[in-house]
Each structure stands twice: as C-alpha cells, then as structure tokens.
A and B are shown apart, each in its own frame.
Chain A
Amino acid sequence: MNPVQPRPCTILDVKKESLHEWTFRVASDAEVSHGQFMQLSIPKIGECPISVSAQGDGWLEFTIRNVGKVTNVIFDKTAGDTLFLRGPYGKGWPVEKFLNKHVVVITGGTGLAPVRSMLNEFMAHPDKVKSVHLISGFKNEEGIVFQQELQEWEKCFHTIYALDNDEKDGWRTGMVTAFVKEIPWDEFDGDYAVVVVGPPPMMKFTGLELMKHDVDPEKIWMSFERKMSCAVGKCGHCRIDEVYVCLDGPVFPYVIARDLVD
C-alpha cells in the first residue's frame, strides 16, 4: 500500500467562515486523531498539508485559507466536486494526558482549526476534563472563524476572545499573550495541560509568557506547521534538527518545541 496514494473524496459542503477561510466538509471514512493532518491533492496543481478541523460519521472538515496554488483552486470547488485526500499523518494532541485536568487552549487566528475537534469533544463530554480555558485571538474581525462554535464554547468554557488591535463588543483587544496572566494557574494545583497553536511568533512569545507565569514546560504542547511535499518523512522540507514535523509532530511537547531551530 503506497502511503502517498491520493484517494478521491466528494465535497459535501462549503462554509465561508471568513473572507479568506472556508471550511470544506468532505466525505471520508478516515480515522483521524485530534490534531492530525491530511494531504489535500488537486491533479495538475499539487498538494498541501491541512489539519483536520472536525470529524464525524463519514465526513471530515478542513478549514482552509486561500493563500497558495492548491488552496486557491480548492476555493473554486463546491459541493459535489472532488478533492483528493491522503493520510491522516503525524502525531496529534495527546488527549489521554489532558483527561481529568484543567485544559488551557491558546490559539492565534486559524490556529483554532487543529484544536476545534478536541474542543468540541470536551464540550460534548464535559466530564472528561476539569475545566477548559480558551484564549482565542484573531488579527481583526474579518479573520474570525468558527463564529457559531465560539458562541457555544463561551457557554461551557472559560473564554477570552480578542482582536489584536480592533475593538468588538464582548471581545478584548490585544495579543493573546496579554491574557495569559488571567488564567487562574494557582487554582489548578498543578493539574493542568496547555495547548498552544498559531503562527510561529505567536507560539514563541506565548511560550515565553507561560514561562513568566511559572507554567510547567512539561505540561505544554504546541502544533507546528511547515512546508511538506510527502508528509511521510522522505522529502525533507519539514525537517527541523533531527525531527520531522510530519512524523514526530505536528504536535510537539514544549520542552522539544522550544529548542528546535529551523
């Protein structure tokens, strides 16, 4: 069985989350762990890695930003059209380590996509964790994704939603790092897990901010995004030091992530 064989899948639905970020629901029986990714493929154009943002019975969702050759073509597709998929690949969130803990999730922009399915699982099964604290930042109002879910999460999680510079009713203004201090770390009694996803500078500075608040580096995980051609540890594009983001990541413990130098 060729691990890079793309398979045709039908697009079931396209939802416009924001101007540049749309969610594509695709028919697939692939079994995906929270935080894993797949390679989306378009004949004549190429492939790109996209994290699975939700999954259900016979379907997967991918929340895609149209910034490249492949994603631009995907944005021309509608329900009933075909996408090619292969995967899932990589190591997702170590959910077993989050069970029965206070889970803190900090995201920047579409970094919310790779944690979305895990958040929905915690929403559906609140007994799995002690609490969920979610800090989600977006550049501006146009960049907000998963609007409906953000509202639902607000009801069952402790949430802080923020725009980098702009103001919005009920939202805060500032970078996500500014809100790390509002997490009641002392109340967790060391029984917590922290998940960080977003652009590389956001993750770097969030890591440093967490250290300032004496958060245990062993209890933090981050999800990386890198260029990939193969997603199976052969093409070399995503290698950093001795790790391959496609194989050993995209989710890394912070104690490994903080020392990686591209």
Chain B
Amino acid sequence: MSYALNIQQANAVLDEIRKDYTVFAPKRFPKQGRYSDTDIIRYAEISRFEDIVWDTKSDYPAKEVLTPIQQAIFYFTEDEYRESKGPKKPYLVLARPCDIAAQHVQQKIYAGNGGYTDVYYERVRKLVRFAMMECNGGDDTCFCVSMGTNRTDDYSLALKFSSEGVKVQVTDDDFTGYFKECPKAKYTPSFVEENELKVTVPDLDNAEVRKALKTHPMWNEYNSRCISCGACTVACSTCTCFTTRDVIYGDNPEVGERRRVTSSCQIEGFDQMAGQKEMRSTAAARMRFKVLHKFHDYKARFGDSHMCVGCGRCMHRCPEFISIAATVNKMSRAVEEIKAGMAEG
C-alpha cells in the first residue's frame, strides 16, 4: 500500500512511529564541516520530518547507527568485566540502497565470520528496520550501479521525498497502522539505473595475477599522495575495523570501561605488534591492502558481492582528492597489462 503525505501529515506519522522506534536519518549539523561555514550531514536521531536531509548524500554513512565511532563494550572493576547494555527500543533507519547494501556487508563480518557472532553488532542489527530513501541519482562520486548496490528489497518502507512532503510505500505489516489516516497514492520506488561514474572491477581470480598486482608500480603513487589519515575508512559505508581501548574514570582509577573505537588499515601502526616492525609500513602498501580488500579479498571469503558499495563517500572525504574509482580503474588497466605480459610468457 502506498501513500502521499504532506509535511504536516509526515510529522504526525513520524510522531507515532517515534513512540515505538528510535528514528535515525541523515541530519544537517550547521557549521560543523571541515571548512569554515560548511555543514556536515551525518546520521543522528531525528524528531521532526524537516530534520531529514534527503536531497544531498550524507557525508558519513548509515553504519554509524549500527557501529558507532566508539562504544563501551565492557565496564570493568579490578576483578570483573561487565558487558555493556544495548538499546531496547527498535530502530528505524532511513537509508539509501547503498547504505542498506553496506549493512549486508558489515553483517557478514560481524555476524558469523569464523563462527563468532559479535554481540555488540547483533544486538543493534536485530532491532533495525530500514526505510529506504529513494535515491535521486546521487552525485558525481557515486558508482552504485557498477557495484550492483543500486537496488534493494530490504526495507519496511520506501520513501520518495519532495519539497511538498513524502510518498511512502509500506512493505512491512508492522508499519501499516501508522498510515491508516493518510491519503493513498500510487507509488512504487524506482532505483538509480546509471551513474555518471563507472568502475570496472578487474577479475582477480588468478593467484599469479594477484601476486603480480601486489608488487605493481601503480601503488607507488600513493606514497606521495596518501597521507595515511584514515578519513576514507571512517567515511566508508562498510569498513568495520576497530581497536579496543581501556579508559579509566577520573574520580576512581580502579573503575572504567573497555571501548571499541573505529580504527583504520590506512593509519600508521594499524598492524604493528609490540616490539616489532610494521607489516605494511608505507602508504602504498596500506592503500593496496584496502583496495584489494574492497575489490577482491572480502568477496573471496564471503562470496556474493564486493565489499565496496560504490557510495563514493571516501572520495568526498579524502583531503588529498584520491579517487577510489580512478584507483580501481587504474588497477583494471594494470591487471590487463599483467595478463598480457603473462600471455606473452
């Protein structure tokens, strides 16, 4: 069933939904951007329909709702670690198809990898329903079509926003009741079918090709361009890596919490063990490691899709203007070169 709501009706429905769900959506934070007088758009709990930023891609992904930058995983005393408590109220997360696809990726790693399910991810994930925000085409850094993440059917509501209000398709019976007073309308969501930016992911099934690619000179460029800041992985819709950190409370140094804090394979020291050298000591090696994870290694382990969902946020956030799309296309050319060399023998 579909409906057309004006802003007032949308706010009335939102008020009702908020009684049962915590609603998260991209929200504008004025003057918090990285340049003066610029804003930042990131996920946060919303209370008004007007809070939802629907006409611009958020700077940071929906993953922050499920895997926040930092969270307490245990509270400790000298003789005990007590598991932190998760939320009780269900979440409704407004997200574009790429951000929904990204949760299928994060879920593969957090739930099930190696037979271990992450308590902290799973306790939130099972509370989440998605309201799919129909994408208005994204921007010039989007390449979801190349990654096959432009479509999804994992949503309870589909939403098409306009300055007058929102059209809603309800696909989950749990939500039908909230719309019973709303005017019905014809609406089925449409999906982005073409991006301006196209990415060709190389076929890396051949182990010899992969081996040659790892030492290909194409990576050296990043030694001078990449500053290993990790901004790309924080902005990434799918990156999951974290570090644990113990924090003590100021008024009682025997009590504190063990936190999970977002980490990045792009920063110095990510793989460094105590008293030993780094495994990947250059920006080039770290970039190669990240790119191959996103466009080969994840799929080799988990099967059905690449890790990158083509949201393009890493390109927006990179202070050095490094384009993952250009990098992958460059990698494709390098792979062709390697294969041609191998064919010549």
Measured CB to CB, the residues of A under 8 A from B are: 2-6, 8, 41, 43-48, 65, 67-71, 82, 84, 199-200, 225-227, 229-230, 232-237, 239, 241-244, 246-248, 259, 261-262
Contact = CB atoms under 8 A, between A and B. Distances in A.
Contact of A82 (B79, B110, B118): B79
Residue of B241, B254, B272, B296 most packed against chain A (CB within 10 A): B241
B114 A236 contact: no
A232 B121 CA distance: 13
A233 B116 contact: yes
B293 interface: yes
B83 A2 contact: yes
A48 B274 contact: yes
B217 interface: no
Interface string B248-286: 100001101010000101000011111110011000010
17 contacts: A5-B74, A5-B81, A8-B79, A8-B80, A43-B81, A46-B246, A47-B244, A68-B274, A70-B274, A229-B243, A233-B113, A234-B121, A237-B263, A242-B296, A259-B211, A262-B279, A262-B285
A244 B253 CA distance: 35
B243 A3 contact: no
Contact of B256 (A8, A43, A69, A236): A43
Contacts of B69: none
By secondary structure, the A interface counts as: loop
B274 A242 contact: no
What size tier do the contact residues of chain B reach? 35 or more
Given A3-B116, A43-B77, A232-B116, A241 B243 contact: no
B81 A44 contact: no
A225 B273 contact: yes
Nearest to A248: B114
A245 to B, nearest CB: 10
Nearest to B118: A234
Contacts of B170: none
B89 interface: no
B240 A234 contact: yes
Given A5-B81, A68-B274, A262-B271, A230 B109 contact: no
A235 B81 contact: no
Given A233-B113, A259-B207, A43 B78 contact: yes
A41 B289 CA distance: 29
Contact of B109 (A234, A246, A261): A234
B275 A242 contact: no
A45 B246 contact: yes
Contacts of B301: 242-243
A229 B259 CA distance: 11
A46 B246 CA distance: 6
